[in-house]
Structure 1
């Protein structure tokens, strides 16, 4: 009897394997990325026929409806992943130290998540406490405990769908300790992507015998494309990219892999349908699905969980601190209205010659209503500046400023993708520059004016920026060797609130503080070599 049952079992198993090998199947992978704690629907910017358009998008309850609908269509072949920067970017996140997120993530039923560069914002232990409470697999292939060099999370994940063995590896940006406040990532070691990439691919392809292999990378579009053209990535089918908030609508083809990236803030979900024949990808279809709240109604249970967890902070978040009469947004690479407002406030409060802010990519539009103005709330302030550091003022020479600007320009426009770093161009008030982005490092900057006068390379100027806890006192916004540096007793938020109390209604615009002579004034990110443009 046992022998008969064994023969039947082997026959059934063999039949299923033969079916998996011969039957055409579909694997669907849904991706969210860089949510930045935007739990509810919000205003979003779109570029349509060269014009800026604003309308509502996003909201996790709406995403839940979207992904549940896709899962229902292909219940045995759908995988839902998130590529990091999920927990940072809102006031509720800061005030709860991210502890509202496990219940939210678990209701979303993700299959796989990875930490992004901002998951470390509340420190290593808080990150570990939060992510180990997720009822989903969390992986990253290049983050380790500094004390014993052991991995923070498993380096890969394998699942089986439709009789296929599917593997994932994941990489976070190894430059996190430089990009962000050093204290955020204390106790964590990062390795370069290539340090174990080939060995992991070999292990999964040859050792684990996976049929499909994917990489989830939180290192930015340029470096993800560079990886796709690197032979070390051979064996990976698709790179699910994250970090730079790019809206990739057609997979970008590299020599060895294809690259995707599904925008940010939950405004889009990437949907990759793979047609599988003989255990290999025979064809694919990709769609960047806009999360239209009118089309995808909010999932009631998901919305109730979000509301209950954020309700303790609601009155504080809804406090009105000022008004804007013009749309405020980021997204533009060279200059934008939102950061002009922020640096104006920092300059006003500090009394310095020039004020700087980082070229952050997060922050959704604030758009005036029919009455011609829109309240700016505490929630908006946290979204614009989710790290409320104290201000820092010091003295730097004109030559230091010139050299530093050349380096900052290279961080954004370097021809070698490996040299590109962080967000968009650094933002400032009290200064104007012109440059040519097409030139080489050290030759891009054309003119610099400070307080309406050409920069004097031998003169010292007072410079205001944020204090990044953990970095040396002499460093101002990544510029080293400042003199007479002082950490002020007020924070960035306090400076902005006081400024709005004084000005009451602001009207920030793109006004030519930074002009690239070779680029459009409203220049969005693009990769001309692969015909990609943000829209």
Structure 2
């Protein structure tokens, strides 16, 4: 059967489920008419949020012009219109920034592993003996509890929940030794076909697994984030090579189909949506890609080269479900649903709640410390400017008396409401990395232009395989006019620092953490390397008590009516 036709039928059914304020409510949250003989359930990019949290979707999520207007680059009302979502519904709240504060009062917090577990268990019970449960990675990093336990708090919860496989990205930033130690404690496989030994070329992890479910042989190929040594300090994985490895992936697909005689080929991917689109277009024989990395919400699947692509947002906001009717090694029908984890509507699983409480108990005093209060809505996700990063810049500028601050465009980071107490857990939730060192470095204007141009290329490259999947680096006290669809240095039309055009021949002092810019400088203030970003930010909040987000950087660009 032509999957394009099946996809259209599925889209209509999905839209019918989503449309209207009454479409998703406590009564019919899990309502779903089962299809076929196999169900795949998953979560994407939880970033270790074991407990419920908040995550506001971006108001700006812009890309190259030909990518705007399609899933992956839709925001706000454009997103809601595309998927026929009532903006006042729970789905509208989870999928869009529009009226976020107003809708928060009605629907409350999001996610939480104990609440996800309730949904997973309900589906497993309903589809007994027919389910596969997956995790797309970015699960062991992004909160204080993850950092303080080196990811093991999440591992223990995952083991209790009964996943079948995962792949990774930020997991690698614990370093090779710690990662392999954590994996040994997993009760399910960590899979990746695209990570090899840097000396000998052999695979580091199982490239795939085969699950026998309800009489079907299902091959699941792991695809870890392909750019780990480029996006993070390379010493974490100094003995390993990464890449997209399209040709090897095709060999794995062929092996599963021709030698292992599987009925279905699934890729568990941390490529990101745009990369998955190209990946699917270049590789024949993939039935489904269960994706992550770019935090995209796909209420209806994408179909590329007869491959179904699904993704379920981030921070535990959704559980994804796809039911399949597989006959004679073909998908003849399917249906799909993203289930918003509306915390107030779902009773948490008591066993998972107990484990989470046990993991938090030794660290509760540290994580629950109230540092101050936010006057503004603090959020991370946006292509250029975010209120969280404004506060980070303020903290660094005050601490080091340096007006120029570069902060990375990470897409993870929880949301804090106006009037809400800011805790140490919130700070870790924005900067809880294994490389938190703060650097004061001197760079020439030319090097600043070159590294900024390189970062913009990572975000706006027309070839998806050249995109890193993050947002642009934030730069305090600067103003850039960029031409998104140009190439290289031509992308930056103008760049000013404190109102003056940047001088390529002048040296500038700047503060950076997480952006790797210290590697570009011959002059590094070594004394700052011992200070950790999350401690500097926490001290700033403690000192001021009431926190406002003050924007000092700006980016001029050609706006998109659909992507911001």
Q: TM-score range by the shorter chain?
A: 0.7 to 0.9
Equivalence for 1:486: 525
Pairwise CA distance, 1:478: 4.1
The answer to whether the 8 A contact 1:414-1:441 is kept is: no
Distance 1:512 1:288 in 2: 36
Q: Which runs of 5+ in 1 are unaligned?
A: 1-23, 469-475, 525-535
TM-score of the pair, normalised by structure 2:
0.82
Deviation (angstroms), 1:297? 1.0
**Alpha-carbon distance in 2 for matches of 1:491, 1:298:** 35
State the partner residue of 1:382.
428
Matched, 1:227 2:279: yes
Larger strand proportion, structure 1 or 2?
1
Q: SS where residue 171 of structure 2 aligns?
A: coil
2:440 matched to 1:393? yes
Q: Which residue of 2 aligns with 1:173?
A: 225
* Deviation per residue, 1:169-213 (Å, 9 max, x gap): 111123201111222223323354224112111110010111111
1:105 equivalent to 2:158? Answer yes
More helix by percentage: 2
Q: What SS class does the counterpart of residue 127 from structure 1 fall into?
A: helix
Task: Evaluate the alpha carbon distance shift between residue 403 and residue 150 of structure 1 in structure 2; reply closer, same or farther with a 3 A threshold.
Answer: closer
The residue aligned with 1:437 is 484
SS at match of 1:303: helix
SS at match of 1:239: strand
The 5 A counterparts of 1:298-377 are: 298-368=348-418, 373-377=419-423
User: Per-residue deviation at 1:31?
Assistant: 1.2
1:501 maps to 2:548: no
In structure 2, what is the Cα distance between the partners aligned to 1:403 and 1:138? 37
Partners of 1:41 and 1:458 in 2: how far apart?
49
Q: Distance in 2 between matches of 1:451 and 1:483?
A: 24
Determine if contact 1:410/1:420 at 8 Å carries over to the other structure.
Answer: yes
Moved more, 358-367 or 385-394: 385-394
Gapped regions of structure 2 (runs ≥ 5): 1-34, 58-75, 78-86, 88-96
Asked if residue 89 in structure 1 is aligned to residue 136 in structure 2, the reply is no
2:475 alignment counterpart = 428
Note if 1:186 corresponds to 2:206.
no
Contact 1:436–1:517 (CA under 8 A) maintained in structure 2: yes
User: Does the C-alpha gap of structure 1 residues 122 and 242 become closer, same or farther in structure 2, counting only changes over 3 Å?
Assistant: same
Question: 2:476·2:552 contact (CA, 8 Å) conserved in 1?
Answer: no
Contact 1:165 1:212 in 2 (8 A): yes
Larger of the two Rg values belongs to structure: 1
Contact kept? 1:167, 1:212, Cα under 8 Å? yes
CA shift in 2, pair 1:477/1:514, >3 Å: farther
Question: Does structure 2 conserve the Cα–Cα contact (< 8 Å) formed by 1:432 and 1:512?
Answer: yes
1:51 is the counterpart of 2:51: no
Q: Number of residues paired by the alignment?
A: 485
Aligned counterpart, 2:287: 237
Cα distance in 1 for residues equivalent to 2:320 and 2:155: 22
| Structure 1 position 44, deviation (Å) | 2.9
Matched, 1:63 2:102: no
What's the offset of the Cα at 1:400? 2.1
CA RMSD in angstroms comes to 2.1
Which moves more between the two structures, 428-437 or 355-364?
Answer: 428-437
With the length of structure 1 as denominator, give the TM-score of the two structures.
0.86
Q: Does 1:202 align with 2:254?
A: yes
Match of 2:270 in 1: 218
